[in-house]
Structure 1
Amino acid sequence: MIGNERHGLIGIIGNDLLRHGKLPLLLLIAVLVSAVLVVTTTHQTRRLTAEREQMVLEKDALDIEWRNLILEENALGDHSRVESIATEKLQMQHVDPSQENIVVQP
């Protein structure tokens, strides 16, 4: 009895696809591969965007620190400028407090 043979549905579909549906099977595989690539690319783009945002914040913090250091350098530079003017133009000298002899003039 030939009619009593039982074939699995998956086997029948697989054989039919391989025999008659090679192009649709190929297109299905291409769609699945492209979908996985789209998801992967989207994930990498979001990760890189977040990383870029973090780097921009770090750059802003470093810029602020740099400006503060320049201001501090300028402030400290003003003291040395005043000291050099006092030494050169007014002939003032720096006095060491431990070596100081106090002379009181009447």
Structure 2
Amino acid sequence: MAFRLRSFSRAFHSSRSVRGGGGLFGETEVNEPGGRLFGEAIRKPGERRKLFDWEVPYIGTLVLAGVMLGFGLNSRPNMSPQAWAREEALARAAARGEE
């Protein structure tokens, strides 16, 4: 058992080298400063990125939720204590005949 753990550890650490190489998971790919982020291909100037199938409904849901929150939060009634006190003061002043 100890031999297996040592060999696993050796293989794991060798696979994490800077340049990649054999190791436990085979040859590794290294992203260098001019390389690809998240494994995406480098596009030519003016070429658009192809969206995945899940991205369009996800972005649409986020936009719809933002619109609903914006509309809903702006149209809610004013329930602050200051608004209640103002309405109460105006109602009491109107009851006494003052304005």
TM-score range, shorter chain: 0.3 to 0.5
Larger radius of gyration: 1
TM-score where L is the length of structure 2:
0.33
TM-score of the two chains, using structure 1 as the length reference: 0.32
Using CA pairs under 8 Å that are at least 6 residues apart, name the structure with larger relative contact order, 1 or 2: 2
Judging by fraction of residues, say which structure has more helix: 1
